[in-house]
Structure 1
Amino acid sequence: MLNVHLVPHTHDDVGWLKTVDQYFYGDRNDIQHAGVQYILDSVVDQLLKNPDRRFIYVETGFFYRWWKQQSSSMQQTVKQLVNEGRLEFVNGGWCMSDEATTHYSAVIDQMTIGLRFLNETFGVCGRPRVAWHIDPFGHAREHASMFAQMGYDGFFFGRLDYQDRNRRMKAKEQELLWRASDSLTPPMADLFTGILPNGYNPPEGFCWDQLCTDEPIRDDPDLEDYNVDDVVQRFLQAAKSQASVYKTNHIIMTMGSDFQYENANLWYKNLDKLIRYVNGRQANGSNVNVLYSTPSCYLQELHRANLTWSLKTDDFFPYADNAHNFWTGYFTSRPALKRYERISNSNLQSCNQLEVLGGPVSRKGQFGQGDSETLRRAMAVAQHHDAVSGTEKQHVANDYAKRLAKGWQHCQVLVSNSLASLTGSLAERIYCDNLNISVCPLTESSKKFSVSVYNPLGRTVNWPVRLPVNGTAYSITDAQGKAVDCQVLPVSEATQEVRRNQGFARNELVFQVQAPPLGFSTYTVSLLKDRQSLSLPRPAAPSVIQNKFLQVTFDPQTGLLTGLSNLETKQTIKLTQNFYWYNASDGNNYESRQTSGAYIFRPNSSTPVMVASKAKVESFQNSVVQEVRQWFAPWVSQVVRLYADSRAVELEWTVGPVPVNDRQGKEVITRLDTSIKTSEFFYTDSNGREVLQRKKDFRPTWQLKQTEPIAGNYYPINSRAFIKDDVNQLTVVTDRSQGGGSINNGSLEIMLHRRLLYDDYRGVGEALDESSEIYPHGLMVRGRLLLSLEPPASAADIHRPLAQEVVSQPLLSFTDGGLSPSSRLEFSGLQASLPPAVHLLTLSQWDEDSVLLRLEHQFQSWESKVNSQPVTVNLQKLFSSLDVLGFSELNLSANQWKDQMSRFDWTPEKEEKPLLKTFANPSVWEVTLRPMEIRTFLLRVKSK
């Protein structure tokens, strides 16, 4: 028998053309007809009418809203359907996250809150067994690794490159085993992966939703339009055609699509008939058997087949659905939202940690009622594949940002309460969220204030602080009362332009702070009598700036970078850097009508236009920082900075409003051209974790016919990318997700900003042309790239911690007039810094007397002589202010005990059995982390 598994499903975007609220309620149907509450109402009603019917649901963020509105008797009914396996949850995260532009820490968080709700509501029957990413636009290896560690038996998706799909169909390799880590011992990160036959739509001609136009099954033989024979024949043909490109006698058909099943009766009435009439043919010798099914039932049958499966070790980027349609634009789309999401993630981690360290008073204390949940949910929604990806309508992007802002307001109260408890000071705390454009009303006007620096990382951090001020001379003391070197610089013209009239500081106060692990340090700033005049900038480029680690050289004629040296290792490379733009295709092209848009990057030429061949320059050099300010055009500027103690050069770029008076959309890049001999290879991170090798015009598992020489060589960069040869490695750490590539040998380019004038016909229906009240003529974006030059063997020892500092940056809070002498000015939540290889990924309150802790080994097995070794941590000796009374280990998503997690075993075609090393566990409290391992614990704690 050929068994056809019909999977009734709906794909419900957590925001896209409408906001998440509008989708739930079915509001704004003038934009798109979609109402999730009605879908769930209707499906439950129809499941009750026939015990054979099945349905799967995916997005817990929507289901949670619906569940809260149901009566207890309806909740009982739904529990019964779940227990019977007729309503099955798949994936189960708060949303279906994007895979290119998300950071792994935020993905783990959003999966955890969705799965926790399902666990607590439905128990083991509500636990999804299958990951389901039917719509994301390309697939990241790190996502597969995470899903494997979350206990999923398999993973299904809909989109992959059209050339890859064609090859896989011929070879019957649309179902495979994905080995998603080169460091974790198989099968820890092995994930069975299935590519669905029709994206996630029904086969052609078999869509029976109210939004569809296919003919229903007309089965009254007395009526002249009877069509059962025709429908059955077409279905048998579709089933056999599909079976010819898959490996077993089981195939899957997704019966549903975007926001379908609002009137579930239409679908189920026709599916019931389809099953009845197709199976009726078996009496006449047909070998096709159709059944209601779910992805986990289908997967179980594939597992029972006991076959071997092809093995994949790379990823599914970039994705193209046609020769000129590469979905690589969204790696950069909406760069301001991408940065805001990343900052919000950092704020959430600090908020979660301070909730634990401050105790119950942090939630309800001196400054009112605060919570971490609002920001946690806003962040979870922001991981959706039309959220941080930048592929939503403008009003929806605004809604995502508003949710993050509201979540942060709730967290600010919690953080203030926690810090009041930990410091013993009830002084009001101020948060300045616009420091990147030198705006902070308190520091601009106050003659004396304190700044508390909270560090969410598990090791001591040195961090440069820049505060907007109007004085010219200040004294700063640290928590021990020692003087701290500080300098005052004038605010640049570029900053004045970008902040408009939001702040009025003339100067910036710059100093270096040090914050202890999982703790804070407080600095007191006092205005001195303005005795000195400010040092004026030199109006020309210096030929060199340097500190004890690095030297950066410039061409005094052009003002551009010319070289970078590591003074410790005596390495020197040629390095030029400039800004360019690609003209965006407008669709008037003989090869293809495809335009550049929110999803798709399609330049109309392979040669980008240089913004300027020289920069206007001024420079400052003092004991804290040396900076060279470069102006390339009225809309492009940059500051090259080197702080006294830094092992990285900072490039702070400001781009916008991108001019479009020539009616030409532009994709703005910065390009670093070096003397490094790369042989067409470069390296990018996957969701901020493991690094993957990339090669120009090449895919590891199939023969690529390259049709877009630029867009077809772009990859997602989440936190870093690098180029290297045998001697030198240049690493670029980014402050948000961006797209980039290495088009020429020795070169690395990163897309910074996109302003486009046409839609790209992928459904969003508007051009990516952002503006706001403050920036009516187009969006201005500012960001940072950090460059480090190291020998390849030790580069990860520098860039891994650097990337973590950018992702989990210190949180600054201010108090006017400083803190009272009796206040505690310094605190660390840890007894000692964690070893360099260990990152404290999660510390959050779970319930009243337990906390969730995730520790990760942040190095790959091959990356570092020093840090790629197993590390042991004693949980009982971890915290300074908490006693750990007991602990249990969970899977990565914290919805099963680790020792109870069991997954299907799969056999790859070419298997080499790995040699397993065993490590003795000397103490019950000691846990060992191997390279790239994340371990999740529920700790029972009490305050010391």
Structure 2
Amino acid sequence: MASVVRFFPLLCWFLIVSGKNLRSKFDDGDDATCGYQSCNPVKDGMINVHIVPHTHDDVGWIITVDQYYYERVQYILDSVIPELVNDPSKRFIYVEIAFFSRWYREQNDFMRHTVKRLVSEGRLEFILGGWCMNDEASTHYNAIIDQHTLGFEFLRQNFGKCGKPRVGWQIDPFGHSREQASIFAQFGFDSLFFGRLDYQDKDLRQNRTTMEMIWRGSPDNLGTQSDLFTGVLPNGYSPPGGFCFDIFCGDSPIVDDTRLHDVNVKQKVDDFLKAMADQAKHYSTNHLITTMGSDFEYQAAHNWYLNLDKLIKHVNARQSSGSKVNLIYSTPSCYTYHVNKAGKTYTTKEDDFFPYASRAHTFWTGYFTSRAALKGYVRRTNNFLQVIKQLDALAILEDTDNSTFNINVLAEAMGVAQHHDAVSGTEKQVVAYDYAERLANGVNEGQKVYNDAVKKLMALNGDAAVEQNFCTLLNISVCDFTQTQKVFMVTLYNPIARTGREIVRLPVSKDQTVSFKVTGPDGKGVESELIPVTPDTFRIPERYNNTAKFELVFPVDLVPLGYTTYTVTRNTAVQKPALEKKPFQPGADVVLKNEYISVAFDGKTGALKNMTNLEKKVSMDITQSFSFYNGVKGNNSQPEFQASGAYIFRPNGTSVPITMDNSYPKLTTKAYFVQGELVQEVYQQFLPWLTQTVKLYSQQRFVQFQWTVGPIPIDDNLGKEVVSVFKTSLSNKGTFYTDANGREVLKRQLNHRETWPLNNTEPVAGNFYPVNSRIYIQDEAKKVQFTVLTDRSEGGSSLRDGEVELMVHRRLLNDDSLGVGEPLNETGSDGKGLIVRGIHYVMLEPMASAAAGHRDLGERLFMPPALSLSQPTDRQSHLGAKNTWSGVREALPDNVHLLTLQQYPSAGPAPSETQPFLLRLEHFYEKGEDPVLSQPATVNIQKLFTTFDITAATELTLGGDMVLSDMNKLKWNYPHDDDEPPRKTDPILRFESEKSGKSVSDPLSITLNPMEIRTFQITIQPAA
């Protein structure tokens, strides 16, 4: 059947479209009739039902993204296009640009012009426009913006202004983030629609007719510019019951031929009118939206449209006998437009839609942690993507270097990885492997860009342009390069445009007669230490019997947005022993202490007992241990039989504690410590499969807790969900704080929801929230804050007073019957349960100064330096070699982050012959967080960078696809402060004012307010 479906469009195009001038000036958008003016007309005084034909195409889930495309998606688009060509009234929306872009690339010129015509007439409309429909719990805001920018740019290049989405369409993610709404508003979207919200919340909203609202994405910082009209779809994203007309549906088609025995048109119309009457009770205007489609539907679009035509015809025919219902083909944007025209006043929402429960005992909070290794890999890979985009721009690489292609391989892999069944961890195992392989391939391509750019920059700087090598398994102490080379260079590129300090750890081979000498870029010696590789590292099977027994540790001073190169020499003439492992002794506490922090451990057990901020004079008793929950086993037939699985977290009771004072006779070494000038560590073994190293480095204001968990045992036939628990002497009284996608922080209250009275059927799972970068508690009486930052997304809570709990790893034996069809039972390369390693970063601060610490550290964790290795040449040791270079003339202010720097096609005017760049600067503090750093910040960008000067800057919307001054969003009625005037900006800023012909003082000075991201297309000229 597939071959017939695929051939059918060719015949339709020839018969229907031949003779039309498809190469007319409409290709440039001149004749475009897209936008709200392309909507089908409605009828006043009636209930207008907006029929929205759509397909939801997961970018991987049960099968891989490629398999979905070739087995399903290509046939959907092949089938829909002729239906739209044949009937001007028909509409269709498409969402996932990862799929559409590859389909469009495969088409011939004739078909592409056909599609452009449909887009220009508003009959085929792109909704959302991202590379995928991203998850909202496990994604970082940087990756969310990037994956939408990738999709937007494809649409802009191929369809111009008519390709620009106007609506967010998050119909399938499992809970919704306030930061996502803020981002959409800054894209210029007029609305957002989603399908899933808590069943109790939905019941109340339906009863109160508040299924549509104004979601305030950043009420305390960005104000009205982040507000967004938001609607909850009535049926998730499915049709009303009985009205699925896809070839894979079991619902009866509409039979309206009176000559047949099975005529059902009257019953179908009656049923549909009843469904609309029921829906109308829950919405406040005379417009209703009805989704007609679902997962991978419309592979035979004629089946759908044939029945929808009949439905529209016969429902509208009832108007002659008094019916007040009018059906039209429509889109979410057209629905938004007509609802806006109704002029209703809407309630507002200022919190988010986490956690999501679909029914009692069914909280979708397990996926906050599911596939913890993949979540960590996605975060690290996003970091590398930003590095190569920056280097490509700073080196001004040309297309002949293939950098655009190489970067796009990684960018597209990252875009796919943000999908709500990818980084979420809710895909089949084979699909998870496919996501990881795509990222690895992208990293390999990105390393080529890194090499080309760094070589060019080194040559320009007078350094030797040598080949850079990479070690991607440093987190498990594996690097053949550092273990075998007698002399090697270590280069660190800092993607943050401020100075910094990093501690480097490299696995090395050492015997009794070997030591190492580290030399800085200035030729002077750098202090270093050797530390034994921890026992838990040796049990990781992915090391493949690597023999490195020690790690070389030394500090590196980072230059802003630039590289620094250090030299390591194996010295056989001088012996320097490695730091010695020391056993704990009963009665003598072990204290790790640097200039800022002191942490004490019980001398008998090795367990944490106290933490002190020496700089701020704050101290408290604190313990840290692990626990695990046994996942409920069930058949999922009823809420009380719901099992814990990839999506659902449902423990069968309270957690089972695992503490250092438990007696496990099989353990040979429970704890030891090492103490040096640079690094101090306490190694803790809780169980044979659960270990941790607590690390304190010199000049750092935080403590690292590196946990290694797995293989989680299942020999008792019980799945387990492991949590790290910090118990403090603070009293937070059920209140804690978590971040939203790495940006703004939201207040959480135990067993409480802001917008409805909660009946919490799961006291543990119902209090877990996504922790993308940080979680903290505060003691108002003591004015103290305890913060834990994460290196990946995890689920977290504060279930008891003074505690912070973070889930780090899950292994389960039951499927939760939500589609994935297999238990979350990951295995490693040895076939046993997967071992996962991660880090928690712990800070203790006075509340007044805590934000400065966790904001700065959060930025550095999300953008750590990229490390590469090379063999030295004579030039590196030459006096003329600098071995350090910065891409900025002056460091950015402490509250400003360079979010994006990349070579980028023109989205606005391009008054220069050079390729325009995309530049995003962000203020990453909230209002009131810090007396100094929460103030507005100003940056002059004209001569900010060292390799080029900026000659003009055009401000764009956050997605980079529209000039900001052209944005004209719909206005809504809702209660809000009116003291937030819109920010005024010239569409084009130039060093020389073209309006007056005179030099303007600081025309390229950019002011950023708290939590503001400003996006510019910049034109450049190489620096003199």
Q: TM-score range by the shorter chain?
A: over 0.9
Q: What amino acid maps onto 2:424 in structure 1?
A: S
Q: Give the Cα separation in 1 of the matches to 2:465 and 2:920.
A: 32
Segment drifting more, 406-415 vs 499-508: 499-508
The answer to whether 1:706 aligns with 2:748 is no
Change beyond 3 A, Cα 1:369–1:599: closer
Deviation (angstroms), 1:49:
2.0
Match of 1:829 among 887, 895, 899: 887
Look up the equivalent residue of 1:775 and give its one-letter code: D
Distance 2:774 2:704 in 1: 14
- What is the RMSD computed on CA atoms of the aligned residues? 1.7
CA change 1:346–1:918 in 2 (3 A) is closer
Q: CA deviation at 1:361?
A: 5.7
Q: Secondary structure at the match of 1:48?
A: helix
Matched residues, number: 932
Moved more, 841-850 or 169-178: 841-850
Other structure's SS at 2:86 match = coil
In structure 2, the CA distance between the partners of 1:370 and 1:827, relative to structure 1 (3 Å rule), is: farther
**Residue matched to 2:421:** 386
1:176 positional shift: 0.1
Is 1:509 matched with 2:544? no
Select 1:878's aligned residue among 936, 944, 947: 944
Give me the whole-angstrom Cα distance separating, in 1, the residues matched to 2:496 and 2:83. 50
1:45, CA displacement in angstroms? 1.3
Q: Deviations over 1:376-419 (max 9, x none)?
A: 11001100000100000011111111111111111101111111
* Aligned mates of 2:400, 2:518 — CA distance in 1: 32
- Confirm or deny that 1:439 pairs with 2:478: yes
Q: Distance in 2 between matches of 1:429 and 1:917?
A: 47
Per mean C-alpha deviation after superposition, the further-off stretch among 416-425 and 638-647 is 416-425
CA distance in 2, matches of 1:931, 1:149: 15
How far residue 591 of structure 1 moved from its aligned partner, in angstroms, is 6.4
Counterpart among 930, 934, 937 of residue 1013 in structure 2: 934
| Aligned pairs (5 A) from 1:319-398 | 319-360=356-397, 364=401, 371-398=406-433
Report how far residue 613 of structure 1 moved. Answer: 3.2
Distance, in Å, in 1 between the alignment partners of 2:363 and 2:527 is 50
Paired position in structure 2 for 1:583 = 630
8 Å CA contact 2:518, 2:569 repeated in 1: yes
- Whole-angstrom CA distance in 2 between matches of 1:607 and 1:926: 54
Contact 1:624 1:644 in 2 (8 A): yes
- Given candidates 183, 200, 205, the residue that maps to 2:242 is 205
Query: What percent identity do the matched residue pairs reach?
Result: 49
1:923 aligns with 2:1002: yes
Task: Indicate how the Cα distance of structure 1 residues 621 and 10 shifts in structure 2: closer, same or farther if over 3 A, else same.
Answer: same
Greater mean alpha carbon deviation, residues 629-638 or residues 609-618: 609-618
Residues 916/86 of structure 1: CA separation in 2 closer, same or farther (3 Å cut): closer
* Deviation of the 1:184 alpha carbon: 3.3
Moved more, 154-163 or 558-567: 558-567
Contact 1:369/1:413 (<8 A) preserved: no
**Which residue number in structure 1 is paired with residue 30 of structure 2?**
none
Instruction: Tell me what 1:31 maps to.
Output: none
Identify the residue that residue 645 of structure 2 maps to in structure 1: 597
Match of 2:774 among 698, 720, 739: 720
| Correspondence 1:747-758 to 2 at 5 A | 747-758=803-814
Measured against aligned partners, the alpha-carbon deviations of 1:71-104 in whole angstroms (never above 9, x if no partner) come to: 1111111111111111111001110000000000
Distance 1:905 1:591, change over 3 A: closer
Match of 1:539 in 2: 583
Task: Indicate which of 49, 52, 70 corresponds to 1:4.
Answer: 49
Q: Which residue of 1 aligns with 2:528?
A: 486
Is 1:670 matched up with 2:724? yes
Q: Which residue of 1 aligns with 2:32?
A: none
Partner of 2:42: none
- What does 1:753-792 correspond to in 2, within 5 Å? 753-772=809-828, 774-792=829-847
Tell me if 1:451 matches 2:490. Answer: yes
What are the residue-to-residue correspondences of 1:803-822 with 2, within 5 Å?
Answer: 803-817=858-872, 819=876, 821=878, 822=880
C-alpha displacement at 1:362, in angstroms? Answer: 8.8
Matches within 5 A, 1:551-700: 551-587=598-634, 592-610=640-658, 613-614=661-662, 616-700=670-754
2-structure distance, mates of 1:572, 1:57: 56
Once the 2 structures are TM-superposed, how far is the Cα of residue 922 of structure 1 from its aligned partner?
Answer: 6.0
Once the two structures are superposed, what CA deviation does each residue of 1:498-532 show, in whole Å capped at 9, x if it has no partner? 15425211210011111111101000011112524
**Kept after mapping to 2: 8 A contact 1:7/1:294:** yes
Please name the residue that 2:976 is paired with.
911
Write the deviation string for residues 406-451 of structure 1: whole angstroms up to 9, x where unpaired: 1111110111111111112232211000000010001011111010
Residue 917 of structure 1, CA deviation: 9.8
- Amino acid in the other structure paired with 1:544: V
User: Shift of residue 146 of structure 1?
Assistant: 0.3
User: Cα deviation per residue 1:346-386 (whole Å; 9 max; x = unaligned)?
Assistant: 00000000101122269629xx9972111011001100000
Q: Are the counterparts in 2 of residues 474 and 527 from structure 1 also a CA contact under 8 Å?
A: yes
Contact 2:658 2:686 (8 Å CA) reproduced: no
Kindly provide the amino acid, as one letter, of the partner of residue 507 in structure 1.
Answer: F
Tell me how far 1:734 sits from its aligned partner: 0.3
Shift of 1:185: 3.9
Partner of 1:894 in structure 2?
Answer: 960
2: CA distance, partners of 1:658 / 1:385:
26
Q: What residue identity is the alignment partner of 1:638?
A: Q
Matched residue, 2:270: 233
Q: Indicate conservation of the 8 Å contact 2:611/2:619, yes or no.
A: yes
Is structure 2 residue 793 aligned with structure 1 residue 737? yes
Give, in angstroms, the shift of residue 544 of structure 1.
Answer: 1.1
Q: Is the 8 A contact 1:363 1:417 kept in 2?
A: no
Cα distance change, pair 915–403 in 1 and its aligned pair in 2 (3 A):
closer
Matches of residues 110-509 of structure 1 in structure 2 within 5 Å?
A: 110-360=147-397, 364=401, 371-424=406-459, 425-471=464-510, 472-498=514-540, 499-509=542-552
Q: CA distance change for structure 1 residues 262 and 753 in 2, over 3 Å: closer, same or farther?
A: same
Write the letter of the residue equivalent to 1:101. S
CA contact (8 A) 2:904 2:916 kept: yes
Distance 1:272 1:671 in 2: 58
Moved more, 605-614 or 911-920: 911-920
5+ long unaligned stretches in structure 1: 27-34
**Offset from partner CA, 1:645-686 (integer Å, 9 cap, x none):** 100000010000001000100000000010111010000000
Residue 524 (structure 1) aligned with residue 567 (structure 2): yes
Give the 3 Å change call, closer, same or farther, for CA 422–596 of structure 1 in structure 2: same
Separation of aligned partners in 1, 2:399 and 2:475: 28
Cα deviation, residue 607, structure 1: 3.4
Question: 3-state DSSP class of the match of 1:592?
Answer: helix
Compute the TM-score of the two structures, normalised by the length of structure 2: 0.89
AA matched with 1:255: M
Distance in 2 separating the partners of 1:287 and 1:45: 32
**Which letter does structure 1 place at the counterpart of 2:48?**
N
Work out the CA distance in 2 between the residues paired with 1:462 and 1:186. 36
